[in-house]
């Protein structure tokens, strides 16, 4: 490098300010120091970044994976670009969707994290918009001009009627085309199977093209698959170092076993992407597994793990870990845009849980801003939580009506297979637009689901 400062330190100091980096004592201590670091980082070449591992690959399986994935031939034409030149190219007309996609395996997480640190929010949005990542299972997610929604019908006791009512409520708002994903109150094979069978029965009754996921530990999913449970997507939280993943009780080999088992079930109808991963800035630091690396770079390293398994969905739960890592609305908004941009450049199907905890210096106006910016940027999916208040996890997210808002104001559509079902069910018009509420249609849907109308 052109400076004697280690890359790890330079990248940390170049990061836009956030509370987690101050907690880890890696942040620049002034805006002047931060800008100087950003200028030095802008002059660093991509080859220099490649040649200075932030964690020794001999001691960390995520680092080893990053170097195994790297496409040296595809990297050669851009190896001598500086980070600043890479930024200028990304913003130019030469960086077409196809040209950016061709660099998927030539880019490492550290290169992508570095360029994000010298970009404005506007830059992050403009470039991410140019890089759609499309995946499919029973619905096709990530098509340009579309946005999908996860129904998150969590219940503090996993009550079947409460969960089913939340699902049907979400469907009436046009949500569920990303996944119907439940965080179980109890992580056990028996609990997971009950919830999977509940969604499966509801899906078949309604004839609705959706995929399900119970967000239990990957070992629980492996157990359920071995016993014949109707597993569509396998979930796991992941992070950017082997030590952090070990704190989740996982390894790359374990994820590979789950991926292969789920693919073997062949339950998808229009595609075979079977993994659902969640991430979040601060996850590695909270496990004391960040190796002195800033939290945003550690987050992007998690995307190397994700893309290894060709997932249907990757969700950055951006404000969930708390203000110790992202203090206020401004930091949450920046992090959400960074995560989406970095994931898309690495070919990851990024969604975002636009959220905050009740003790953060943030409110629903901040979430409205981030939701709208991500909609413009082409985010693959968002969350749909009844009333935006998750009564089991106790945090604030986006609601079913927020999903209707973002589709309306940005003229975005649901996944095509799901849209066709919504039209047939009389919930969308022929142009894929949500129709006004109707007691008659609601009663008909509840009748099909075998739930009683209030």
Q: Which residue has the tokens 């789920």?
A: 262
pTM: 0.96
Give residue 100's pLDDT.
98
Give residue 234's pLDDT.
98
What 66-71 contacts at long range (C-beta under 8 Å, 24+ apart), as own/partner pairs, is 66/108, 66/109, 66/110, 66/301, 66/304, 69/105, 69/108, 69/304, 69/307, 69/308, 70/105, 70/106, 70/108, 71/104, 71/105, 71/106
Enumerate residue ranges in the chain where pLDDT < 50. 1-3, 454
Q: What is the pLDDT of residues 160-181, one digit of tens each?
A: 999 999 999 999 999 999 999 9
Strands of the sheet with 313-317, listed across from one edge: 212-214, 179-182, 148-151, 381-384, 350-353, 313-317, 275-279, 234-237
Q: Which residue has the tokens 């693919």?
A: 263
Contact status, residue 258 vs residue 221, Cβ threshold 8 Å: yes
And the tokens for 415?
């996944």
Integer Cα distance of 397 and 391 in angstroms: 11
Integer Cα distance of 40 and 49 in angstroms: 13
* Element housing 214 (H / E): strand 212-214
Integer Cα distance of 46 and 66 in angstroms: 15
And the tokens for 266?
């062949």
Integer Cα distance of 233 and 239 in angstroms: 19
Integer Cα distance of 79 and 72 in angstroms: 9
Q: What is the pLDDT of residues 287-338, one digit of tens each?
A: 999 999 999 999 999 999 999 999 999 999 999 999 999 999 999 999 999 9
* Structural domains of the chain, with CATH: 7-130 (1.10.220.70), 135-425 (3.20.20.70)
Going by C-alpha positions, the residue among 325, 255, 258 that lies closest to residue 296 is 325
Beta bridge partners of 278: 237, 315
Distances (CA, A) of 94 to 47, 99, 130, 377: 21, 8, 11, 19
Beta bridge partners of 382: 149, 352
Give residue 4's pLDDT.
74
Count of beta carbons in the 10 Å neighbourhood of residue 51: 11
Give residue 1's pLDDT.
46
Dihedral (C-alpha) 221, 225, 226, 229: value to the nearest 10 degrees? 120
Give residue 442's pLDDT.
84
Integer Cα distance of 222 and 204 in angstroms: 23
Integer Cα distance of 327 and 151 in angstroms: 27
Give residue 3's pLDDT.
47
Integer Cα distance of 232 and 250 in angstroms: 20
Instruction: Report angle CA 244, 248, 250 to the nearest 5 degrees.
Output: 95
């Amino acid at each position: 490098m052109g400076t004697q400062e280690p890359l790890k330190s330079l990248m940390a100091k170049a990061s836009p300010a956030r509370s987690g980096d101050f907690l880890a004592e890696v942040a620049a201590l002034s805006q002047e120091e931060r800008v100087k670091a950003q200028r030095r980082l802008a002059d660093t070449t991509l080859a220099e970044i490649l040649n200075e591992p932030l964690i020794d690959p001999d001691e960390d399986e995520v680092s080893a994976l990053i170097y195994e994935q790297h496409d040296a031939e595809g990297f050669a034409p851009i190896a001598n670009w500086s980070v600043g030149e890479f930024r200028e190219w990304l913003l130019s007309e030469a960086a077409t969707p196809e040209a950016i996609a061709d660099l998927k395996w030539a880019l490492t997480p550290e290169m992508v994290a570095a360029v994000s640190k010298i970009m404005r929010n506007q830059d992050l949005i403009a470039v991410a918009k140019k890089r759609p990542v499309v995946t499919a299972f029973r619905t096709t997610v990530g098509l340009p001009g579309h946005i999908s929604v996860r129904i998150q019908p969590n219940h503090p006791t996993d009550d079947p009627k409460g969960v089913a009512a939340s699902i049907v409520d979400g469907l009436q708002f046009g949500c569920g085309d990303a996944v119907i994903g439940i965080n179980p109150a109890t992580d056990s094979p028996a609990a997971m199977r009950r919830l999977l069978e509940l969604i499966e029965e509801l899906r078949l009754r309604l004839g609705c093209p959706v995929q399900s996921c119970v967000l239990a530990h990957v070992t629980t999913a492996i157990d359920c698959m071995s016993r014949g449970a109707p597993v569509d997507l396998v979930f796991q939280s992941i992070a950017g170092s082997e030590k952090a993943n070990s704190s989740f009780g996982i390894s790359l080999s374990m994820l590979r076993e789950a991926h292969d088992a789920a693919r073997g079930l062949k339950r998808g109808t229009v595609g075979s992407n079977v993994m659902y991963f969640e991430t979040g800035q601060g996850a590695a630091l909270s496990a004391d597994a960040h190796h002195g690396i800033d939290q945003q770079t550690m987050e992007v390293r998690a995307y190397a793990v994700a893309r290894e398994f060709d997932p249907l969905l990757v969700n950055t739960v951006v404000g969930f870990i708390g203000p110790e890592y992202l203090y206020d609305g401004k930091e949450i908004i920046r992090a959400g845009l960074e995560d989406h941009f970095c994931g898309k450049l690495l070919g990851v199907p990024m969604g975002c849980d636009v959220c905050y905890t009740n003790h953060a210096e943030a409110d629903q106006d901040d979430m409205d801003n981030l939701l709208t910016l991500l909609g413009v940027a082409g985010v693959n999916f968002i969350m749909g939580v009844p009333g935006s208040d998750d009564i089991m996890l106790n945090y604030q997210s986006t609601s079913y009506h927020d999903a209707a808002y973002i589709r309306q104001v940005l003229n975005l559509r649901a996944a095509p297979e799901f849209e066709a079902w919504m039209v047939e069910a009389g919930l969308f018009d022929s142009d894929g637009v949500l129709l006004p509420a109707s007691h008659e249609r609601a009663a008909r849907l509840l009748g099909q689901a075998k739930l009683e109308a209030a």
